[in-house]
Chains A and B, each alone.
Chain A
Amino acid sequence: MVAVELDGVGKTYGDEVAVEALDLTVADGEILGVVGPSGCGKTTTLRTIAGFETPTAGRVRFADEDVTHVPPERRNVGLVFQSYALFDNMSVLANVAFGPKMQGVEKAERRDRAMELLELLDIAELADRAPETLSGGQQQRVGLARALAIEPNILLLDEPMTGLDAKLKDRLRREIGSLLDELGVTALYVTHDQEEAMAMCDRIAVLNDGRLEQVGTPREIYESPANEFVAGFVGSANLLDAQLDDGTVDLGFARLDAVADDTSGDATVVVRPDDIVTLLSRHRTDARAFEAFQAPPREEASS
């Protein structure tokens, strides 16, 4: 089932195009990563789903309901920011209970719900503390608990790990990943860190310059990049110019069998570092460059 659907969504500011004709769906219970260089439109996409930006073209749907013009407070969307944005005028518990309170949940019940989430995130002992006295990792957990407390239609995470140190990031990433899976939460995970997206997301959308370049599982994106941009942005890659002709790929220094043989012309061959196997040759002096290609390249992208 589709939880969120962007149908031809576009957003322009004056002459500046932030997002162009974007079609994207997030399935129920799925974690969709949105990656791309800064200024590619990923934050605009997130804010459009949250309702803080009204698209200049296209529709936004939650399940089958058109929410394009529904204000943010009535979309039931959880937001987690890089800067945590906790309410310092309230205790940790009150922060988490804030959403249910706005929904009109009774005091005892919203307290229970908040406590339950704090326990789930392993920070129950911080319930009465003031947010500003917590560490970055703890604050991020509170932020997550607060967003989950409203049982959101979709959880939007905007670079949630960027401010944390590498070791903590790694731990939190694993914990949050399994928690979201366990709770069956639908999430959109915006990050500039493609490695993070690979580790956490079920599918990844690669954005560049306001356009969707490719969407697919981490494996598809890595192994079958749709174009040079995706190949270069996700993981490291060697991009080689080649001629595609009659079922063979001519690299200039070597000829290989093409995966698809129905096209011809200029092509770019993507070689992942882990595709390269160096052979211990007994005739090292005779070793030729093309010996490096043990496995055939998995995809050619016509340019």
Chain B
Amino acid sequence: MTTLRTPRSLGKTAVTLVTGLVLAVLVVPIALTFVSSFAQSATGVVPTGFVTFEHWRTALGLTDVGARRGIGSGLWFSVLLATGGMVVNLVVGVPIAYALTRYEFRGREWLNTLAVLPLVPGIILGIAFLRTYPDNAGTAFGLVVGYALLKSPYMVLTVQSAFQSMDLRQLEESARSLGASWPRTFVTVIVPNARGGILAGSIITWTLAAAEFNFTYMVYTRGPKPFSLFLYENISRAPFLQSAAAISMYFCLVVAAILVLQTVGRHGFTTT
């Protein structure tokens, strides 16, 4: 008699298959795009003529064509803008998430709503900014504030869920009874224990801010070109391979940011 496969192992196989399929669907286009960006031509199914850095150079603004449309110094500018937005969210969002989780206070519901409210389309916030601050909306400062506001719910919600899984009150009271002042308790005990959530929130707010198009497009007027606008121009108006280079650049940037943030997360919280 043959033994029937148990439903459990069948389920495991199914889950593995589906996961594999989804991963393939997601990863293959990205990998293909990345590889293509180094090819000379991609007229057929398989790109040919490896390896050239021409498209990357063009996208980076190092060639004659690219000087007009390339990113150049805008790349670093964008990294700074996204980092600025993330830092604002860390400084403001983490304490808000803490207060929402730890304390019962008047207006708690209002604050909760307010923290999630900016989850509006960037285009609406962009219009609001232009109307309210016509002179400052397009500056670096305006962009940082806009990014921070637009992405703050991701920070607050992620960190809040990390705090909710901790026994905040008892942790805090243990530390204080041991002689730590409240600010010291917050920095040495509360924040490090929520590092997973804070890290996730930082990564999400950073990558989303780096790619935020709608808001940037609405308010941008002058100065170095933010990355999302550069992406837009390269994707909508440039040949495929140059777009591929631009998109690959974005992926490299995101991977680099995640690596940096994770390293900071692992080593930046140690207290001895």
Residue A56 at the B interface, CB < 8 A?
Answer: no
In whole angstroms, what is the CA distance A102 to B181 when docked? 9
Residue A276 at the B interface, CB < 8 A?
Answer: no
**Among residues 77 to 94 in chain A, which have CB atoms less than 8 Å away from a CB atom of chain B?**
77-79, 81, 83, 85, 87-90, 94
User: Would you call A73 and B179 a contact (CB within 8 A)?
Assistant: yes
In whole angstroms, what is the CA distance A50 to B180 when docked? 14
User: Would you call B193 and A88 a contact (CB within 8 A)?
Assistant: yes
User: Would you call A90 and B271 a contact (CB within 8 A)?
Assistant: yes
Size category of the binding interface on chain B? 20 to 34
Name, among B179, B180, B181, B272, the residue most crowded by chain A CB atoms within 10 Å (CB to CB): B179
Residue B258 at the A interface, CB < 8 A?
Answer: no
In whole angstroms, what is the CA distance A99 to B182 when docked? 14
User: Would you call A72 and B177 a contact (CB within 8 A)?
Assistant: yes
User: Would you call A72 and B173 a contact (CB within 8 A)?
Assistant: yes
Residue A212 at the B interface, CB < 8 A?
Answer: no
In whole angstroms, what is the CA distance A272 to B167 when docked? 42
**Among residues 28 to 87 in chain A, which have CB atoms less than 8 Å away from a CB atom of chain B?**
50-52, 71-79, 81, 83, 85, 87
**Cβ of A166 to closest chain B Cβ, rounded Å:** 24
In whole angstroms, what is the CA distance A52 to B175 when docked? 12
Residue B170 at the A interface, CB < 8 A?
Answer: yes
A89: nearest chain-B partner, CB-CB: B192
Give chain A residues whose Cβ lies under 8 Å from the Cβ of B174.
Answer: 79, 81, 85, 87, 146
In whole angstroms, what is the CA distance A50 to B173 when docked? 9
Give chain B residues whose Cβ lies under 8 Å from the Cβ of A78.
Answer: 177
User: Would you call B167 and A83 a contact (CB within 8 A)?
Assistant: yes
Residue B87 at the A interface, CB < 8 A?
Answer: no
Contact A94 B272, CB 8 Å, known A83-B170, A89-B192, A89-B193: yes
In whole angstroms, what is the CA distance A102 to B272 when docked? 12
**Cβ of B240 to closest chain A Cβ, rounded Å:** 48
A91: nearest chain-B partner, CB-CB: B272
User: Would you call B177 and A50 a contact (CB within 8 A)?
Assistant: yes
Pick from B167, B177, B178, B269: contact of A89, CB under 8 Å: B269
User: Would you call B179 and A76 a contact (CB within 8 A)?
Assistant: yes
Pick from B179, B181, B189, B270: contact of A150, CB under 8 Å: B179
User: Would you call A79 and B195 a contact (CB within 8 A)?
Assistant: no
Contact A79 B179, CB 8 Å, known A85-B170, A87-B171, A102-B184: no
Scan A85-127; emit 1 where CB is below 8 A from any B CB, else 0. Answer: 1011110001000110011000000000000000000000000
Give chain B residues whose Cβ lies under 8 Å from the Cβ of A50.
Answer: 173, 177
**Among residues 236 to 272 in chain B, which have CB atoms less than 8 Å away from a CB atom of chain A?**
269-272
Give chain A residues whose Cβ lies under 8 Å from the Cβ of B57.
Answer: none
Pick from A52, A88, A99, A156: contact of B178, CB under 8 Å: A99
**Cβ of B233 to closest chain A Cβ, rounded Å:** 45
A98: nearest chain-B partner, CB-CB: B178
**Cβ of A93 to closest chain B Cβ, rounded Å:** 10
**Cβ of B165 to closest chain A Cβ, rounded Å:** 11
List the 4 closest A-B pairs by CB distance, nearest first. Answer: A102-B179, A89-B192, A99-B178, A85-B170
Q: Which residues of B contact A (CB under 8 A)?
A: 167, 170-171, 173-182, 184, 189, 192-193, 195, 269-272
Q: Which residues of A contact B (CB under 8 A)?
A: 50-52, 71-79, 81, 83, 85, 87-90, 94, 98-99, 102-103, 146-147, 149-150, 156
Q: What are 15 A-B contacts defined by CB distance under 8 Å?
A: A52-B173, A52-B176, A71-B176, A73-B178, A73-B180, A73-B181, A83-B167, A87-B175, A87-B189, A89-B189, A90-B271, A98-B175, A98-B178, A98-B180, A102-B179
